[in-house]
Structure 1
Amino acid sequence: MIDPVLLRADPEAVKRSERARGNDEAVVDQALSADAARRSALTEFERLRAEQNEFGKRVKAASKDDKPALIAEAQQLAAAVKAADARAKEAEAEFERVAGKIQNLIVDGVPAGGEENFVTLREVGDLPTFDFEPRDHLELGELLGAIDMERGAKVSGSRFYFLRGVGARLELALMSLALDRALAHGFVPLITPTLVKPEIMRGTGFLGEHAAEVYHLSEDDLFLTGTSEVALAGYHSDEIIDLQAGPLRYAGWSTCYRREAGSHGKDTRGILRVHQFNKLEMFVYADPKDAEAEHDRLVGWQEEMLQALGLHYRVIDVAAGDLGSSAARKFDIEAWVPTQDAYRELTSTSNCTTYQSRRLATRHRGESGKTEPVATLNGTLATTRWIVALLETHQQADGSVRVPEALQAYLGGLSVLTPVAPAQKA
C-alpha cells in the first residue's frame, strides 16, 4: 500500500508514477478524499471517547440523587461513541480500498511506457552460432529422454509435462547449484508452503491485475502460489524484525503454479510457459535506505549464475507499465533462445520498497527507535525454464548437449548429455 504520509505530502509525485504506469491518476485524488474522511471520522471518534471518559468521572463523583439522570446521559454518549467508532472503521476500510488501487511509487529513472518500452542495460556473453540447423529444446529433450509432454498432457492436461531421466537430474542440478550459491551469499534456505491464505496473497499484490493467473481452492479459501515470493513475504507478516546486522535474506525452494492464460504460439511448445514448475527464489527484507543497493546485488548474483552456465543474455530495465503493482523497479534478465531468434526472460528481480510490508505489517526499528515498514525485494536464482536456454545453447549436431562445467559435479561428472535409444524413451 502507498505511504499515506507521502500521499498527503506529495500527491503530484504519486500522480506522476501512476501516469508513467499508464494508470488513471484520478485515483490519487479519490484516495486523498478518502484519507481526509478517514482522519475526520477518527478525530470525531477520539473526541467523543475522551468526552465519554471525562463524563464517566462525573458519574462516579455524582450524588445518589443525580446519578440516574447522568447514567442515562452516559448511555446516550456510549451509543454515540459506538456509532462514531463504526463510522471511523468504515472510513478506514474505504480508504484502504481506494488507496489499495494505487500501485507502488516507481523509483526515479524507471522508463515510462508499456512492455515494449524497456531499456537494455547490457548484453553479456557470446551469441551462440551453429554450423548445423539447431533443434529446439523440446526436440532435444525428447532425443535425450528428458522431457515427456505427451504423457504430461495425458495425466494432467495441456502444458503439463514430465521431466524424466537426465531432464529430472538437470533440473535438480540447476536448483542445487543455485542453492549453494545462495548459501555462499548468506541466504537462509526455506522450503515454503505452496498454499497460502487470501490475506497473504493480497498483501503481496498478486490478487490485483494478475488475479486471473492464480489458482484458487474455493472450498478451503487458499491460493496456490506462482512463486515462493508470496510465502516468503508472509513469513514475517505482523512482526517487528531486527535489521541491525543487515538485510535478512531467504532462498525459497518451491513448486509454483500459474494459469498462463494469455500465452500462445511458440510459448505453448515445450516447457517455456507451463502451469507447474520449480523455482529457487531469493527474498530479502532490508532497511528501505539500502533497498536500491540490495537490488543491484540481486541482479549481480543472477548474472553470476547465467555466466557460469555459459548463456548469452541481456539485462533490461522494465518499463513502468509492465512492472506489476508491487514493484517500484524491476530488472529482467533474458537469455538468447537460438531457435526463436529472440531473448526470453529467465529471471526477474524486483524492488518492492515498502509496498508489501505496509500491507503485511512487517516492520523494523529505525534510527529513531520507532517502528517503520521494511523494504522487500525478490529475484529468481534458478527455475525450470532455464533448461530451455541450456539445451538450445549447448547443443551439438548429433543431438547431444554439452554440460557447463559449473553443473557437472551435480550430475555425477557428466560432461555431455547424449541421445538415448528409442526403447529407453518409451
Structure 2
Amino acid sequence: MIDPVLLRETPDVVRASQERRGASVELVDEAIAADAARRAAISGFETLRAEQNAFGKQVAQAPKDEKAALVAQAQELAARVKNAQSVASDAEARFAEVAGAIPNIVLDGVPAGGEDDFVTLREVGAIPAFDFPARDHLELGELLDAIDMERGAKVSGARFYFLKGVGARLEFALVQLGLQRALEAGFTPLITPTLVRPDIMAGTGFLGAHADEVYYLERDELFLTGTSEVALAGYHKDEILDLSAGPKRYAGISTCYRREAGSGGKDTRGIIRVHQFQKLEMFSYIDPADAEAEHERLLALQEGMLQSLGLSYRVIDTAAGDLGTSAARKFDVEAWVPTQDAYRELTSTSNCTTFQARRLDIRQRGDDGKTAPVATLNGTLATTRWIVALLETHQRADGSVVVPEVLRPFLGLDVLEPVA
C-alpha cells in the first residue's frame, strides 16, 4: 500500500504517478475520500469510547438508588460504541480496498507510457555474427539431446519441457555460478517454498493486474509462486528488523510457475515462455534512503553475470505503464538472441520502495525509537531462459556449443557436442 500520509498531503504526486502509468486518476480521489471517512469514523468511535469509560466510573460511584437508571444509559451507550466500532472497521476496510488498488508511486525519471516507451540506457557487447546459418536454441538443444519439448508436452501439456543431460547440467551450472556471485556479494542463500498463503501473495502485489498469471490451488488456499521474490518478501512479515549492521540480503532458489495467460501463440517454440522454470533471485531489505543505490548494485551484479557469460545485451529503463504493481522503477536486461535478431529479456531488477513492506508490516526501528517501513528490492541472477541466449550466442557450425569459461568449473565441459 502507498503511504497514507503521502496520499493525504501530496495527492498530486499520486495523481501524476497514476497518469504516467496510464492508470485511474479518479482512484486517487476515491482513496482520499475513503481516508477522510476512515479518520472521521475512528475519531467518532474513540470519542464515544472515552465517554463510555468516563460514564462507567460515574456508574460505579453512583448511589444505589440511581444505579438502575445509569446502568440502562450505560447499556445504550455501549450499543452506540459497538455500532461506532463497526462503522470504523468498515471504513478501515473500505480505505484498505481503495488505497490498496493504487500501485506503487513511480520514481522521478521513470519514462511515462507503455511497453514500447522504455528508454535504452546502454548496449554492451558486439552483436554475434556467424559465417554459417545459425540454429535456434531448440534445434541446438535437440542436437545436443539437452531439451525435449515433445515429451514435456506429452507429460504436462504445452509450454512444458524436459532439460536432459547437458541441458540439465547447464542449468545447474548457471545457478551455481549465480550463487557464487551472490555469496561473494554478501547474500544469504535460501531455498524457498513455492506455495504461499493468499496474504503473502497479496502483500507482494501479485494479485493485482497480473493475477491471471498465477496458479491457485483452491482446495488448499495456496498460490504457486512465479518468483521466489514472493516468499522472500514474506520471510520477515510482521517483523521489526535490525538494519544497524547493514541491509539484509537473500538469494532465493526455487522452481517458478506462470500461467502465461493471454500470451496466445507468442513464443510457443522452445523454452522462452514456459509454465515452469528455475530461478535464482536476489532480494534486499534496506533503509529507504539507500534503496536507489542498492538498485544500481543489483543491476551491476546482473550485468557482471551476462558479461562473464559472453552475452551481448542492453539495459532498459522500463516505462511506468509496464511496471508491476509493486515496482517504483524497474531495469530490464535483455540479451541478444541471434535467430530472433532481437534483444529478449533475461533478467530484471525492481525497486519496490516501501510498498511491499507496508503491506506485509516489515519495519525497522530508527535512532528515535520509532518504527518505519523498510524498502525492498529484487533482481534475478540466473534463470532457465538464459540457456536460450547461451546456446545461440556460442554455437558453432557443426551444432556444438562452446561453454563460457566461467561455467566450465561447474559444468566440467569446455564444449557441448551434438549427440549422434
What is the aligned partner in structure 1 of residue 416 from structure 2? 417
1:262 offset after TM fit, Å? 2.4
Residue identity matched to 2:52: Q
1:265 offset after TM fit, Å? 4.4
Per-residue Cα deviation, 1:310-351 (whole angstroms, up to 9, x for no partner): 000000000000001110000000000000000000001000
Per-residue Cα deviation, 1:57-93 (whole angstroms, up to 9, x for no partner): 1111111111111111111111111110000000000
Residue identity matched to 1:190: L
Residue identity matched to 1:332: D
Q: Distance in 2 between matches of 1:84 and 1:45?
A: 5
The yes-or-no answer on 1:284 pairing with 2:284 is yes
Residue identity matched to 1:339: T
Residue identity matched to 2:271: I
Runs of 4+ aligned residues of structure 1 deviating over 4 Å after TM superposition are none
Residue identity matched to 1:363: R
What is the aligned partner in structure 2 of residue 95 from structure 1? 95
Q: Distance in 2 between matches of 1:156 and 1:241?
A: 42
Q: Distance in 2 between matches of 1:269 and 1:83?
A: 60
Per-residue Cα deviation, 1:210-236 (whole angstroms, up to 9, x for no partner): 010100000011000000000001000
Give SS of 1:336's match: strand
What is the aligned partner in structure 1 of residue 251 from structure 2? 251
Give SS of 2:112's match: coil
Give SS of 1:171's match: helix
Q: Distance in 2 between matches of 1:23 and 1:115?
A: 14
What is the aligned partner in structure 1 of residue 26 from structure 2? 26
Q: Distance in 2 between matches of 1:312 and 1:255?
A: 26
Residue identity matched to 1:338: P
1:154 offset after TM fit, Å? 0.4
What is the aligned partner in structure 1 of residue 345 from structure 2? 345
Q: Distance in 2 between matches of 1:4 and 1:215?
A: 31
What is the aligned partner in structure 2 of residue 424 from structure 1? none
What is the aligned partner in structure 1 of residue 171 from structure 2? 171
1:275 offset after TM fit, Å? 0.1
More displaced, 365-374 or 37-46? 365-374
Q: Distance in 2 between matches of 1:48 and 1:263?
A: 55
Give SS of 1:66's match: helix
Residue identity matched to 1:198: P
Per-residue Cα deviation, 1:267-320 (whole angstroms, up to 9, x for no partner): 111000000000000011010010000000000000000001000000000000
Alignment: residue pair count: 420
Q: Distance in 2 between matches of 1:75 and 1:357?
A: 41
Per-residue Cα deviation, 1:196-254 (whole angstroms, up to 9, x for no partner): 00010011110011010100000011000000000001000111111111110000000
TM-score scaled to structure 1, two decimals? 0.98
Per-residue Cα deviation, 1:84-107 (whole angstroms, up to 9, x for no partner): 000000000000101111110000
What is the aligned partner in structure 1 of residue 115 from structure 2? 115
Residue identity matched to 1:344: R
What is the aligned partner in structure 2 of residue 42 from structure 1? 42
Gaps of 5+ in 1: 422-426
Gaps of 5+ in 2: none
The yes-or-no answer on 1:371 pairing with 2:371 is yes
Residue identity matched to 1:149: M
What is the aligned partner in structure 1 of residue 399 from structure 2? 399
Q: Distance in 1 between matches of 2:246 and 2:189?
A: 17
Q: Distance in 2 between matches of 1:35 and 1:292?
A: 29
Q: Distance in 2 between matches of 1:368 and 1:145?
A: 61
Q: Distance in 2 between matches of 1:66 and 1:324?
A: 64
Q: Distance in 1 between matches of 2:7 and 2:411?
A: 53
Q: Distance in 1 between matches of 2:104 and 2:395?
A: 42
Give SS of 2:28's match: helix
Equivalences for 1:319-358 in 2 at 5 Å?
Answer: 319-358=319-358
What is the aligned partner in structure 1 of residue 223 from structure 2? 223
What is the aligned partner in structure 1 of residue 128 from structure 2? 128
Residue identity matched to 2:417: T
Give SS of 1:65's match: helix
Residue identity matched to 1:415: D
Q: Distance in 2 between matches of 1:367 and 1:303?
A: 36
Residue identity matched to 2:2: I
Equivalences for 1:11-22 in 2 at 5 Å?
Answer: 11-22=11-22
- Work out the percentage of aligned pairs sharing the same amino acid: 74
What is the aligned partner in structure 1 of residue 232 from structure 2? 232
1:382 offset after TM fit, Å? 0.1
Q: Distance in 2 between matches of 1:318 and 1:367?
A: 36
Change (3 A) 1:3 1:253: same
Residue identity matched to 1:416: V
Per-residue Cα deviation, 1:16-58 (whole angstroms, up to 9, x for no partner): 0000000120100100000000000000000000001111111
1:263 offset after TM fit, Å? 2.3
Equivalences for 1:58-69 in 2 at 5 Å?
Answer: 58-69=58-69
After superposition, the CA RMSD in angstroms is: 0.7
Give SS of 2:65's match: coil
Residue identity matched to 2:207: L
More displaced, 33-42 or 54-63? 54-63
Q: Distance in 2 between matches of 1:8 and 1:264?
A: 42
